[in-house]
Amino acid sequence: MGFKVISLGELLVEIMRDEVGVPLNISGRFLGPFPSGAPGIFINAIAKLGIECSFIGTVGNDGFGELILNRFKESGVDISNISISKDYTTGAAFIAYRKDGSREFIFHFNKAASGNIRESQIKHEIFKGVEWLHITGSTITANEMCRQSGYKAVQIAKAMGTKVCFDPNIRPELADIKRIRAVCEPVLKRTDILLPSEKEACSLAGIENENEACLELKSRGIEVIVLKRGAKGCKIYVKNRIIDIPGFTVDEVDPTGAGDSFAAGLVYARIQGWEWEKSGRFANAVGALDVARFGPMEGAPTLREALELAGI
Ligand code: ATP
Ligand code: MG
């Protein structure tokens, strides 16, 4: 007990092409398994920054599950709320990198242990004294069970004074946009900080221009929107200000996990009570350090590394 941050959702291994431009319908080489899953990348990153945290999720009773649990133990994530399924194997995602920088995914998780997150796992006592709940759209769009568990977590969080950080993490591979919008709606209503990418802001608002999209989303009553802009950094929409915070220049080795690591940096900064400019700079640093290493969690920096790049 005594956690500052909780997250829940899919725990996966990622199996990735080692070469750019080899699609998933062609036989070839892969690297991995790497521990992954968007909320898993987040919790691992914030634990490495030194924040006491716990994760609610499910793995299979297999090597992939062990790989994830071992990584969490090493990083300092509490694993007592992760159940080990006897009936399902750990989920997996296959990723190929296209030459234009975009990615192709095949997910095996909504019918795997990863998608088997029961409402009974979301217990009130886990939330006692917790400052932040981080939840992602990939979890609540996975299947009905994950959706209900995610909603329950958000409801308990709001009832217990825990703030909600929501990363839409829209994967068109997993559901169509109309359904994604409908599923996100109840969480958006209770979101304290929304962390969309440019595309996600546009998709959620149904507006082509990302700035207008953020303003529209904000007008629905979301207090803070932090727009993730890849190498360009981020823009923070707070009160009636828009704060543009440039990114750090790094060699991008692997973009996977950038958004989740960024979220960890931002929540870390909010816990410290830093002002917005400093918070955005720190989050940009954590995101940049993540993309500089291959593998979703491999680039999660220590606090010292992140502070140093951020110049704090
Ligand atoms: P993903 O869903 O792939 O994890 P995302 O689309 O949610 O990522 P991005 O905007 O790609 O989010 O990345 C999040 C943050 O990480 C950016 O706002 C930026 O701070 C940092 N970042 C990402 N890519 C780079 C890069 N190439 N160079 C420097 N910083 C980067
Ligand atoms: Mg993302």
CATH code for position 68: 3.40.1190.20
What distance in angstroms lies between residue 86's CA and the mean position of ligand 2's atoms? 31
307 is a domain residue: no
Question: Distance from the CA of 263 to the center of ligand 1, in angstroms?
Answer: 10
Total domains in the chain come to 1
Asked if residues 238 and 259 have their Cβ atoms less than 8 Å apart, the reply is no
The one-letter amino acid code at 279 reads: S
Residues 263-293 pLDDT 10s: 999 999 999 999 999 999 999 999 999 999 9
Say yes or no to pLDDT of 107 above 80.
yes
121-132 pLDDT, tens digit each: 999 999 999 999
pTM score, whole prediction? 0.96
Residue 102 banded pLDDT, cuts 50, 70, 90: confident
The number of the ligand nearest the C-alpha atom of 257 reads: 1
What are 68-97's pLDDT values in tens digits? 999 999 999 999 999 999 999 999 999 999
Tell me, yes or no, whether 309 lies in a domain: no
- C-beta neighbour count of 178 within 10 angstroms: 9
Q: Give the pLDDT of residue 186.
A: 97
Distance from Cα 231 to the centre of ligand 1, integer Å:
6
CA distance 61 to 75: 21
pLDDT for 1 equals: 59
Dump strand ranges (E) for 148-197.
163-167, 193-194
Domain annotation covers residue 311: no
Which residues span the domain enclosing 158?
Answer: 5-300
Residue 153 covered by a domain: yes
Secondary structure (3-state) at 243: strand
Ligand 1 close to Cβ of residue 254 (< 6 A) = no
Q: If pLDDT is split at 50, 70 and 90, which confidence band does 171 have? A: confident
- Burial label for 1, CB within 10 Å (0-12, 13-18, 19+), is exposed
Asked if residue 288 has its Cβ within 6 Å of ligand 1, the reply is yes
Q: How far is the CA of 230 from the centre of ligand 1 (A)?
A: 4
Kindly tell me if the per-residue pLDDT of 173 is higher than 70: no
Quote the pLDDT of residue 174.
Answer: 66
Ligand nearest to the CA of 260: 1
Residue 136, domain member (yes or no): yes
Structural domain includes residue 161: yes
Residue 188 lies in a domain: yes
Walk across the sheet containing 91-97 and list its strands: 30-36, 12-17, 91-97, 103-108
* Ion ligand 2: residues, CB < 5 A: 169, 259
| Residue 308 in domain | no
- What pLDDT, on the 0 to 100 scale, is given for residue 191? 98
Q: Whose CA is nearest to atom 25 of ligand 1?
A: 231
Q: Counting atoms of ligand 1 from 1, which one is nearest the CA of 284? A: 20
Task: Decide if 157 contacts 189 (C-beta within 8 A).
Answer: no
CA angle 116, 204, 272 (to 5 degrees): 75
For 196-247, what is each residue's pLDDT tens digit? 999 999 999 999 999 999 999 999 999 999 999 999 999 999 999 999 999 9
**Rounded to an integer, what distance in angstroms lies between the CA atom of residue 35 and that of residue 42?**
12
pLDDT score for 284: 98
